[in-house]
Amino acid sequence: PSQGYYTRRGGVGESGDFITSPEISQVFGELIGVWYISEWMAMGKPSTFQLVELGPGRGTLTEDILRVFKQLASVLSKCDVSVHLVEVSPKLSEIQAVMLTGGKVQPNPEDESAYMKGISKTGIPIFWYRDIQDVPSGYSFYLAHEFFDALPIHKFQQRTEKGWREVLVDINPEVPDQLRFVLSPSRTPATQNFIQPEETRDHVEVCPEAGVIVQRLASRIEKDGGAALVADYGHDGTKTDTFRGFRNHKLHDVLSAPGTADLTADVDFSYLRKMAQGKTATLGPVKQREFLKNMGIDLRLQVLLQNSGDTATREQLLHSYDMLMNPEKMGDCFNFFALLPHHRLVHPDKKDKPESKSPLPPVAGFNELLLK
């Protein structure tokens, strides 16, 4: 809490340690904003919803989504929208407050579970929390972009003759200011609790905190309705050794100068799917370039190119499109994954009367975009 990376540094953005898609292109957040509107419409336009973002970074993604909500104000006109940000970093919450409200925020409001509140430049109330459990219940659209990869993992190795062992972090007695990995001599509580019985990999990384958060999201969606969109680099239960550090946009040894570099591990979407425990349906993971293509990124790029007069802006638009979509860059390694109520994908009474209902609208992004 006091010496951790996000408390002390938290360097998202060009001048920081790593750059994220919303910081690269406004189109990214706009298409996510469209996804929420599309789901809101498909779910029968409920009269109120909360947009809940986990780990909002600099607030850029929320800003881009709120711009879409403003542009589609006539569609959303009768809907009561509020924004709820779950953020542990005091530094980043300040940056978010400036970005979203112009800095006009009230700390520790008496009547709320939030630690800060304000009003967006577009007139929408915004609240900040340290934990998802503090966010009031209610119909909610959740967003976690590059959030789960930031949570701590346990690492394990299978020693054939001895069973699972946990990889632990120790002080290196030979080199000052340097840590080292050691293998637990016997089983640990974590080896007993966090490895799936059907696991076939011989090295595995498990993020139990991500599991707990997904369970909470799934329970909340099952009870109050809504949907969750998770986007991150990750795999579907195949990778083994992905824990790494970034500092000033370069790979950094995770064992040196702790607290000064962003530590990250790929998100295991197969684990998230298991942790939803069937309370919601899940979709994906699909690759970022497929999701954004299905969301109409090519059309949006065309419009922006047509509207921009100068060559530098056009070049910037094409460059950022390439960063997001190129399979060698972010297009293939980033994935989109969603939690949705079961009734969003299958009519509740489909079993009894399969022919009597009109088909449910497809979920945008996860299905090919068909222009009629």
Does residue 147 interact with ligand SAH by CB under 6 A? Answer: yes
d(CA 91, CA 156): 33
| Calculated CA dihedral for residues 249, 52, 233, 242, nearest 10 degrees | 80
Shortest reach from residue 22's CB to ligand SAH, in Å: 5
Does residue 65 interact with ligand SAH by CB under 6 A? Answer: no
Q: Which is nearer to ligand SAH, 11 or 284 (CB)?
A: 11
Shortest reach from residue 152's CB to ligand SAH, in Å: 9
d(CA 142, CA 160): 41
Q: Which of 9, 11, 17, 20 is the binder for ligand SAH (CB under 6 A)?
A: 20
Q: Which is nearer to ligand SAH, 22 or 365 (CB)?
A: 22
End-to-end CA distance of the chain: 52
287 and 331 in contact (C-beta within 8 Å)? yes
Q: Which of 11, 33, 56, 296 is the binder for ligand SAH (CB under 6 A)?
A: 56
What are the angstrom distances between the C-alpha of 231 and each of 102, 209, 218, 282? Answer: 27, 17, 16, 13
What are the angstrom distances between the C-alpha of 323 and each of 23, 55, 257, 316, 332? Answer: 11, 22, 30, 11, 11
Instruction: Please count the residues of this chain forming the interface with ligand SAH, following the rule CB under 6 A.
Output: 20
In the region spanning residues 78 to 117, those forming contacts with ligand SAH, defined by CB under 6 A, are 86-89, 92
Does residue 225 interact with ligand SAH by CB under 6 A? Answer: no
Region from 19-27, 40-48, 75-83, 157-165 binding ligand SAH, contact rule CB under 6 A? 19-27
The SS3 of residue 223 is helix
Q: Write the burial class of residue 311 (CB in 10 Å: 0-12 exposed, 13-18 middle, 19+ buried).
A: exposed
Does residue 61 interact with ligand SAH by CB under 6 A? Answer: yes
Shortest reach from residue 75's CB to ligand SAH, in Å: 25
What are the angstrom distances between the C-alpha of 171 and each of 56, 155, 165, 180, 315? Answer: 33, 17, 19, 6, 48
User: Which DSSP symbol is given to 208?
Assistant: H
Does residue 29 interact with ligand SAH by CB under 6 A? Answer: no
Q: Which of 16, 22, 225, 296 is the binder for ligand SAH (CB under 6 A)?
A: 22
CB under 8 Å to 110, separation ≥6 — which residues? none
d(CA 34, CA 363): 12
Q: Which is nearer to ligand SAH, 28 or 269 (CB)?
A: 28
Does residue 146 interact with ligand SAH by CB under 6 A? Answer: yes
The SS3 of residue 167 is strand
d(CA 311, CA 319): 12
Q: Which of 11, 16, 33, 57 is the binder for ligand SAH (CB under 6 A)?
A: 57
Q: Which is nearer to ligand SAH, 228 or 281 (CB)?
A: 228
Region from 43-51, 55-63, 109-117, 340-348 binding ligand SAH, contact rule CB under 6 A? 55-63
Does residue 51 interact with ligand SAH by CB under 6 A? Answer: no
Binding site for ligand SAH (CB under 6 A): 6, 10, 12, 20, 22-23, 55-57, 61, 86-89, 92, 145-147, 150-151
